[in-house]
Structure 1
Amino acid sequence: MEITRKILSLIQKQLFKGKVIILYGARRTGKTTLVKKLLEDNPNDSSYLNCELQENQDLLSHTNSILLKDFIGQKKLIILDESQHIPQIGLILKVLVDTFPSVQIVATGSSSFELSNQISEPLTGRSRQFLLLPFSLHEIHQHSDLIKLKSELTNYLRFGLYPQVVMEEGEDKIEELIDISTNYLYKDIFQFESVKKPEILQKLLKALAMQLGSESSLNELAQIAGTNVHTVSRYLDLLEKAFVIFKLPAFSKNLRKEINKSQKIYFYDLGIRNAIIRNFSTLNLRMDLGGLWENFCVSERLKHNQNNRRFVNTYFWRTYDQQEIDYIEEIDGMLFCFEFKYNPKSKSKFPKIFSQTYPNSSFKVISPDNFYELTDLE
């Protein structure tokens, strides 16, 4: 089964417009597979370089335009995979796009703390950036109808949606997840020179996994991990830039009772989260089902926005007297509110104080019975 990635067509529309295409994404999400699809459209005048190889790093270890011209030759499309390994990659990409505007450069990176830091200033106004995440429900819907998707929701909550994991069967899913979480996911973080105590990172990850769906306190996380708040904050930033976790801030504008300095932390993929705590139990045996469903829905909505280039502000909302909304999107002056309930019979209503304070808002409850409304599946 071959699943076409949603952002492939978006990237294709941006080719040969004088911009460097930057494709971010965690390891094993399918970046290499995707960029090689681009090569199929230009089989005779394109080039692919794995920048983790020393010989390819040496090829691009300079900004001499004559040497770069010799490197490009007659190529019209150049793929630089895992380009964060190239020293001065930002400056090199700037020279390439300025000197050879008709050549399309596509650079991928599995850690934005390395690549983004190097390209942010040199490529100002010269790039288009995309994020490739694990499979979305919308992408899997290419080969599964809604009935089949609903029947597979329990597997997605247990094993996540990394491409290779979805393709595996039974216990092989667990083997693949353990391999990804052990050997690949933190590779860039552990290689980063400022990470000197990986055991703290592991403790922090387990703490985050156990607090799924709850607000995160830096002081509490620091106590659990046996370190200080500054280190926790820095490691959270690295985990976010390595596409392991993402943050959701609190929404607060008008009400005095609104929590305004808190955040929730979610995992991009639940399979990775479950691998961290080594818990792949069936859902009827789990105490964390509510958190799993909330994380799943928030991450699917994130994929929906990324894959459709919807640039929105996202939040959760809570007051000091415990009124709450799981997820809010703010776009064009409108607020779209969601509550996530795994049990369709659970009662949930739009907090009256919120609807009165923010009349430009809507409210929807998402359960497995109407999961398709989360990402406009048809």
Structure 2
Amino acid sequence: MYIPQIQLKNLKQLVIPGKVIVIYGARRTGKTTLLREFLKKEKEPYTLVSGEDITIQSYLSSQSIEKLKAFVGATRLLVVDEAQKIPHIGINLKLIVDHMPDVRVIVTGSSSFDLARSTGEPLTGRKFTLKLFPIAQLEIGQIEKIHQTQANLENRLIYGSYPEIVLMPDNKGREHYLKEIVSSYLYKDILEMDGVRHSSKISRLLQLIAFQIGKEVSLSELGTSLGMSKNTVERYLDLLEKAFVVQRLTGFSRNLRNEITKNCRYYFLDNGIRNALINNFNLLEQRNDAGELWENYIIIERLKRQE
């Protein structure tokens, strides 16, 4: 079953000549599905390639206008999956949109962090970005009736709303899936960064954040608990936010100076990931953090609507 994605409508509106559409998002949130649904109704000639293909890499890393024109040919839509695998992809996409003004371009990849780094500066003023999150209730509401939503709400608070989780028939499967994401994907992008070597400390940091949902977070206290500096904690949290694991919520004050110095709160982009990190999939009636789960869920649903 396909769950209609709100960003599909946005994608249709943003794909225009002279711009590159960069699709970001956590792993397993439906970026490939979004592309597939978009291309089903594409009327003009398009080319879909993977950045993991060495031949494709040789063309799209060439920085040669002649080679790039030969590669694009008569296509009017170039779609590059796993674009972050291609060296100098940002510069080459800039050459394409500058010298082939009739061509539309969409790029995406499994590592949003690497994709953002490789396309950011070269495509300044030449790109639109779309962010994909786990499925929003607004999207799920298109395939289920209100009584079904009410019946499934507790599951959403406990297991979250990754696309495969929503469509999965049993809770044991959901638990296994979430634990697999946490063990295999959650830290992957961050640990590939230079200078990030402590997967155990990142895991512990996330667990501490998981127990502080709805509370102001002191970076100094976290640093003391983890045996690392405040600056290192701040850096790790920034990386986790860029990797679509957590979302920072800054304080509000009518006094701007006070607002800047206020501690932040952190929320997880998905309730299921949060619960997998602390290994707690108990029913709401058996837990003492039901209020925190509701708060996290509502904050992130609001974020999805804003994006």
The verdict on a shared fold, with TM-score over 0.5 as the criterion, is: yes
The structural deviation recorded for 1:110 is 4.5
Q: Which amino acid aligns with 2:46?
A: S
Q: Which residue of 2 aligns with 1:214?
A: 215
Structure 1: which 4+ aligned runs deviate by more than 6 Å? 255-259
Q: Identify which range, 21-30 or 185-194, moves more after superposition.
A: 185-194
Q: Is the 8 A contact 1:160 1:270 kept in 2?
A: yes
Q: 1 or 2, which has the higher strand percentage?
A: 1
SS of 2:200's partner is helix
Q: Deviations over 1:280-300 (max 9, x none)?
A: 111111111111100000000
Query: 1:57 and 2:57 equivalent?
Result: yes
| 1:74–1:222 Cα change, 3 Å | same
**What corresponds to 2:150 in structure 1?**
150
Matches within 5 A, 1:234-313: 234-254=235-255, 260-306=261-307
Structure 1 residue 99: Cα displacement: 1.4
Maintained 8 Å contact 1:51/1:82: yes
Of the structure 1 ranges 219-228 and 49-58, higher mean CA displacement relative to structure 2 is found in: 49-58
Q: Give the 5 Å matches for 1:1-378.
A: 1-42=1-42, 45-170=45-170, 171-254=172-255, 260-306=261-307
Q: Over residues 56-103 of structure 1, what are the superposed CA-to-partner deviations in whole Å (9 max), with x where a residue is unaligned? A: 433422210111112112222111123222222221111111111211
Q: Which deviates more, 276-285 or 222-231?
A: 222-231
Query: Quick one: distance in 1 between partners of 2:284 and 2:58?
Result: 50
Displacement of 1:245: 0.5
Structure 1 unaligned regions, length at least 5 = 307-378
What whole-Å deviation, never above 9, does each CA across 1:301-325 have from its counterpart, x for those lacking one?
000111xxxxxxxxxxxxxxxxxxx
CA distance in 2, matches of 1:254, 1:67: 56
- Greater helix fraction, Structure 1 or Structure 2: 2
**Deviation of the 1:153 alpha carbon:** 1.0
CA contact (8 A) 1:51 1:57 kept: yes
Q: CA deviation at 1:53?
A: 4.5
Partner Cα separation in structure 2 for residue 208 and residue 294 of structure 1: 14
- Whether the aligned pair in 1 keeps the contact of 2:26 and 2:112 (CA below 8 Å) is no
Does the CA-based 8 Å contact 1:20-1:105 persist in structure 2?
A: yes
Q: Can you give the 5+ residue segments of structure 2 that lack an aligned partner in the other structure?
A: none
User: AA paired with 1:230?
Assistant: N
CA distance, structure 2, for counterparts of residue 131 and residue 258 of structure 1: 27
Residues 173-203 of structure 1 deviation map (CA, whole Å, 9 limit, x = unaligned): 1111112222123221122223122121111
TM-score, normalised via structure 1 length: 0.76
- State the secondary structure of the residue aligned to 2:266: strand
Question: For residues 56 and 199 of structure 2, what CA distance do their matches in structure 1 show?
Answer: 29
Which structure has the larger Rg over C-alpha atoms?
A: 1
Amino acid at match of 1:28: R
CA contact 2:21–2:105 (8 Å) conserved in 1: yes
Read off the aligned partner of 2:298 and give its amino acid letter: C
Amino acid at match of 2:18: G
**What SS does the aligned partner of 1:172 have?**
helix
Cα gap change, 1:268 to 1:18, in 2 (>3 Å) = same
The number of equivalent residue pairs is 306
Question: What is the distance in 2 between the residues matched to 1:285 and 1:305?
Answer: 33
Larger RCO of the pair (alpha carbons < 8 Å, separation 6+): 2
CA-atom RMSD in angstroms: 2.0
Q: Are residues 203 and 57 of structure 1, via their aligned partners in 2, closer, same or farther at CA, if it must alter by over 3 Å?
A: farther
